[in-house]
Amino acid sequence: MADKKKILVTGGLGHIGSQLIREYSKREDIEIIRIFDNLKTQRYCSLFNLPENGKFEFFEGDILNTEDLDKAMKDIDIVIHLAAITDAPSTIEKPQLTMKVNFIGTKNVLEAAEKANVKKFLFPSTTSVYGETSGLVDENFSDLKPCTPYAEAKLASENLVREYGKSGKLNTTILRMGTIYGPSMGMRFHTAVNKFTWLAAMNKPLTVWDNAFEQKRPYLGLTDAIRAYQFLEEKGESGELYNVLTDNYTVREVVEAIKKSVPDIKIEITKAPIINQKSYEVSNEKIKALGFTFQDDLADNIKKKIEMLKGVKN
């Protein structure tokens, strides 16, 4: 076997990272999984009960601190840069901090990776960069209108990561990801499917905007996300971006999937506005053309989360 890989996962205790590090520990081609996190979200539980196979290292540090990054980057082959402020609606109140963490932080990680001669840099962006659009969009769609500071910072970071990849400074690949769903140790509940699942498990009504019930949005199962990172580690072209989403679902389809586990769920319709008023779908044909297949099932993932909360009887 070729030399085993050493992987750095920034933001490694978050929703995606906490499950990715567990799945990657099963890979025989990996020697070290270095987890880098500033612990601001206090997801200490993401380090609980990790497989005892000697692959894990934990570095407490911040992507805004270049010294922390230089230490964490030593001897690393692959970087998966997950660290970011990820609660998009909350970033409306803190645009400057969001740009600092999500863009300047990404710039810092890129520079440290280049300095350390990293072989591959994988960056998660978001389908939210499409913003106020409609119909079906793909990677060639150029009229991007991000609606939140979160999406704006991700788009700015995309451009920087692509520049590194196209210029040959660093082998970079961008995953333009749909909204994540699926259980993990560091799971977050401010995204649509997970929030609805939480409310249903707690026997609370789901609040749905009246003009949103039939709107489609791109969603990505967590297992599909982790498989996509490994796939693009090998197959992703430098400087390229790929839409990564399991499927496009309407709010109605999400609710129907929850009903399979909680048949008597209550729905409340409200007139409250939403950030993006239009329905749109995102194409995932580009990554599928490389040979990737999406496998996650929405209802099955929801069932697993409901079962995790079944001890609570509301």
Contacts (Cβ under 8 Å, ≥6 apart) of 77: 5, 6, 7, 118, 119, 120
- Say what the pLDDT of residue 107 is: 98
CB 8 within 8 A of CB 112: no
**pLDDT band for position 215 (50/70/90)?**
confident
Distance CA 99, CA 173 (A): 21
Once rounded to an integer, what is the mean pLDDT over residues 59-65? Answer: 97
Q: What percent of the chain has pLDDT over 90?
A: 78
CB 292 within 8 A of CB 231: yes
Is pLDDT at 214 greater than 90 in this prediction? no
Amino acid at 173: T
State pLDDT tens for residues 288-313: 999 999 999 999 999 999 999 888 87
Once rounded to an integer, what is the mean pLDDT over residues 261-290? Answer: 83
- Say what the pLDDT of residue 38 is: 95
- Say what the pLDDT of residue 21 is: 98
State pLDDT tens for residues 129-172: 998 888 899 999 999 988 889 999 999 999 999 999 999 999 99
CB 194 within 8 A of CB 187: yes
Instruction: Give the helix ranges, DSSP H, for the chain.
Output: 15-24, 66-72, 95-99, 105-115, 149-167, 192-201, 222-235, 251-259, 285-289, 298-308
Does the active-site annotation cover 150? yes
Distance CA 13, CA 34 (A): 11
Is pLDDT at 229 greater than 60 in this prediction? yes
- Of 24, 150, 229, 249, which residue is the catalytic one? 150
State pLDDT tens for residues 5-44: 999 999 999 999 999 999 999 999 999 999 999 999 899 9
Is pLDDT at 274 greater than 60 in this prediction? no
Place of tokens 């000697």: 54
Name which of 125, 122, 144, 45 is nearest 86 in CA terms: 125
Class of domain 5-180+219-246: alpha beta
Just give the CATH number of 188-217+248-280+295-308.
3.90.25.10
Q: Which of 145-149, 215-219, 224-228, 272-276 has the lowest mean pLDDT?
A: 272-276
Q: What percent of the chain has pLDDT over 70?
A: 97
If you write DSSP's letter for every residue of 184-243 in order, what string do you get? -TT----SHHHHHHHHHHTT-PEEEETTTTT-EEEEEEHHHHHHHHHHHHHHPPTTEEEE
- Predicted TM-score (pTM) above 0.75: yes
β partners of residue 131? 145
Is pLDDT at 83 greater than 70 in this prediction? yes
**pLDDT band for position 272 (50/70/90)?**
low
Amino acid at 228: A
Domain boundary assignment for the chain: 5-180+219-246, 188-217+248-280+295-308
- Say what the pLDDT of residue 188 is: 85
Name which of 288, 88, 284, 119 is nearest 195 in CA terms: 88
Once rounded to an integer, what is the mean pLDDT over residues 44-69? Answer: 96
CB 17 within 8 A of CB 82: yes
